[in-house]
């Protein structure tokens, strides 16, 4: 049977989602815990990847097991959370149809980026703290966000292009919201390229402080050249917020 895990994690101490040779990852940590509890070597496949320092409010992963865990052990979620470190939480655990894939069946992903416009030590590893005297103009930020949706090729915001067969993405939503001293960027698309959101945020911030103009921003997108983009925003401010699947994935 195939099972889905709904996961949230604080990414500050992890070198990203994907297993690495020398550094600790979220995927490896969960696999070790599952393998211990089920007394079998378990491999999980995530809905995507997050880089070192990036957080997830909602991530999904699937794995296969030849018995119905929901019948064998109704406390599997509790046990997983008991053994996992405090920076990872299993929010849900459920069975799905056999051919449903955590990555390939995703309809869209939503990312959130957080910028705090003042110094706050309690948000040190979950936001980009903007301490510059240069003020960010939110109206200009949203003009840039609106422009994004007019394009399909986001080569200019993709790191390590050799790993991509295509740079075409469909952005459904992109907007900046200011709440008191906190600036949030929300973006939803069917897929994202490596470092795409952080590169977009860094470039639009340069637009918001008038380092570049809207015409410059358009030229950057159309040039399809990562070297023309702005800085890459710090990983600590990025959250994978939501992953959307078809409604018929569940095994009833």
Q: How far apart are CA 249 and CA 22, in angstroms?
A: 35
Q: Using 50, 70 and 90 to split pLDDT, how confident is the model at 197? A: very high
List CB contacts of 216: < 8 A, sequence separation 6 or more.
207
Cβ(129)–Cβ(123) below 8 Å: yes
Which tens digit of pLDDT belongs to each residue from 116-175?
A: 999 999 999 999 999 988 999 999 999 999 999 999 999 999 987 656 788 999 999 999
Which tens digit of pLDDT belongs to each residue from 91-117?
A: 999 889 989 999 999 999 999 999 999
Residue 26 structure tokens: 């979220």
Determine whether 149 is exposed, middle or buried from the number of CB atoms within 10 Å of its CB (0-12, 13-18, 19+). middle
Annotated binding site: which residue ranges?
Answer: 111
Q: How many residues does the chain have?
A: 252
Q: How far apart are CA 6 and CA 62, in angstroms?
A: 9
- Tell me, what's the pLDDT at 21? 86
- Tell me, what's the pLDDT at 11? 97
The model's pTM: 0.94
Annotated binding site for substrate: which residue ranges?
Answer: 111
- Tell me, what's the pLDDT at 70? 59
Active site residues: 51
């Amino acid at each position: 049977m195939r099972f889905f895990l709904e996961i949230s994690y604080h990414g500050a101490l992890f070198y990203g989602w994907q297993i690495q040779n020398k550094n600790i990852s979220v995927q490896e940590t969960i696999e070790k815990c599952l393998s211990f509890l089920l007394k079998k070597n378990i491999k999980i496949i995530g809905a995507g990847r997050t880089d070192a320092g990036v957080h997830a409010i909602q991530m999904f992963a699937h794995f296969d097991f030849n018995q119905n865990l929901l019948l064998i052990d109704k406390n599997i979620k509790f046990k997983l959370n008991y053994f996992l470190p405090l920076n990872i939480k299993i929010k849900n655990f459920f069975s799905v149809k056999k051919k449903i894939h955590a990555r390939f069946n995703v309809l869209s992903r939503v990312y959130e980026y957080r910028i705090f416009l003042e110094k706050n030590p309690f948000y040190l590893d979950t936001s980009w703290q903007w301490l510059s005297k240069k003020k960010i103009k939110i109206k200009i930020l949203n003009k840039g966000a609106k422009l994004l949706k007019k394009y399909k090729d986001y080569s200019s915001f993709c790191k390590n292009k050799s790993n991509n067969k295509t740079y075409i993405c469909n952005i459904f939503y992109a907007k900046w919201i200011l709440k008191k001293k906190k600036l949030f960027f929300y973006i939803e698309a069917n897929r994202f390229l490596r470092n795409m959101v952080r590169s977009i945020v860094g470039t639009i911030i340069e637009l918001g402080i008038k380092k570049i103009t809207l015409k410059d921003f358009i030229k950057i997108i159309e040039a399809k050249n990562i070297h023309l983009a702005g800085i890459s925003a710090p990983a600590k401010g990025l959250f994978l917020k939501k992953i959307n699947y078809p409604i018929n994935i569940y095994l009833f």
